[in-house]
Amino acid sequence: MRVLVVGAGTMGRWFGGLVDARVAFADADPAAADRAAAAVDDAETAPLDPNDAAANADADGARFDVVCVAVPMTVAPDVIAPQASRATSAVVDVAGEMGGPVSAMREHAPDLERLSLHPLFAPENAPGSIAAVHDQPGPVTDALRDSLAASGNDVFDTTVDEHDTAMESVQAATHAAILAWRLATDDVREEFHTPLSRELADLAAHVTRQEPRVYADIADRYAAGRHALADAVARLADADHDAFLDAFADASERAHDATDTAHDATDTTHDDVTDHR
């Protein structure tokens, strides 16, 4: 199997390094494509422009079994449009949002297998969970999923709407909460930290070492998540004692409903709970 990875950033290199295939990298920065190809066994580079590729190769050499688009979510649909024609069997993306890429793949690769993947981790933390919208299954995309699972990843199926709604909470609201906590708090001596504040400080340190553009893209795409967080913060900020207790009760109900769903076999009593204030 020959796979073209369009985008030689961290996610493109991650995907190219895992799939059981001969991989070629194409990128707007040829040097980035060269570095990615050098890091993956038997990989090569390919022109980014499909017209250049067609002009410099025979018909078979200009096309690939699979085209994987690994570019920022803000541009993924626009990249899928011209690149889908280079695939003979399947088009895949790892952009991190499902709505735009899946629509673009349906439009520009209607007769091919289609698979949208969202690794829910940074490559340095692999393996982990990978959300998948298997929009048009088939043997080629099944083999790609098998390659990812063989590396220890948990590939689970979802829908476009379920995924994109979930990302409002697990990405946009979560990132905003961590950044807001860091913006709102002062540095304190290490001895003053509680387990909760220490964990939040560590999370903030981790997040702020990452690529800001990625977080800004997520914040823009899933703005409803951070707006919901802002509403919740305003509710707490404006609350008197009784209103704060009401908000706490609402949060507790949500938290324990989620916990009960995930751990329905666990019976935790009040005496078992450790106070981590």
What residue spans define the domains of the chain?
Answer: 2-158, 162-263
Rounded Cα gap, residues 259 and 121, in angstroms: 22
Q: By the 8 A CB rule, do 86 and 67 touch?
A: yes
Instruction: Identify the pLDDT of residue 260.
Output: 72
**Chain centroid to CA 67: how far?**
18
HSE (side-chain half, CA atoms, 13 Å) at 270: 1
Instruction: Identify the pLDDT of residue 55.
Output: 57
CATH code, residues 2-158: 3.40.50.720
Provide the residue type at 201 as one letter: A
| pLDDT in 10s for each residue of the chain, 277 residues | 999 999 999 999 999 999 999 999 999 999 999 999 999 999 999 999 998 866 565 555 579 999 999 999 999 999 999 999 999 999 999 999 999 999 999 999 999 999 999 999 989 899 999 999 999 999 999 999 999 999 999 999 999 999 999 999 999 999 999 999 999 999 999 999 999 999 999 999 999 999 999 999 999 999 999 999 999 999 999 999 999 999 999 999 999 987 776 665 444 434 433 344 4
Rounded Cα gap, residues 140 and 187, in angstroms: 52
Instruction: Identify the pLDDT of residue 268.
Output: 41
Instruction: Identify the pLDDT of residue 62.
Output: 77
pLDDT, tens digit (0-9, with 9 covering 90-100), for 193-233: 999 999 999 999 999 999 999 999 999 999 999 999 999 99
Number of Cβ within a 10 Å radius of residue 195: 11
43 Rama sector, left if φ>0, alpha if ψ -120 to 50, beta otherwise: beta
Strand 44-45 to strand 154-157: parallel, antiparallel, or no bridges (unpaired)?
unpaired
For 173-211, the DSSP string reads IHHHHHHHHHHH-----GGG--HHHHHHHHHHHHHTTS-
